[in-house]
Amino acid sequence: MALSQRIECRSVASQPGTLLGAATVRADVLPRWTGIMLAVGMAVMAATSGLPDVLRTLSAGVRDLALAGMGASLPGSGSPRSGTLRRAAGYKVPRERV
């Protein structure tokens, strides 16, 4: 497969991840930085598809860090934003007593 075909295929494959990152930022349910990092990481992965393995691994690390951040912010993980997720899902979150 020629280099231009690989880059084109990789950029098409990265579009859903980039759109998920944009939707995450817009929805403001998960931390904003995770959506930005996911969108940037997917674009960087598409751009580095023809480069050496070390650079491709580093670009995948950006995406993976974003996905790990999303997972860490889910309900039950102890994150301060987990109440936001529960309210978005329709759960009644008790108010914290001060």
How do the domains of the chain map onto residue ranges?
3-74
3 or 29: which leads in pLDDT: 29
φ/ψ of 76, rounded to 5, equals 90, -5
Task: Please state, in angstroms and rounded to a whole number, the distance separating the CA atoms of residues 71 and 80.
Answer: 13
Query: Is the pLDDT confidence value at 94 over 80?
Result: no
Q: Supply the DSSP symbol for 19.
A: H
pLDDT at 65: 92
Question: What pLDDT is recorded for position 5?
Answer: 54
Distance CA 64, CA 48 (A): 15
At 39-82, the pLDDT tens digits run: 998 888 888 878 888 988 998 899 899 999 988 888 765 555 55
Q: Are residues 45 and 59 in contact, defined by beta-carbon separation less than 8 angstroms? A: yes
- Assign 87 a pLDDT band (cuts: 50, 70, 90): low
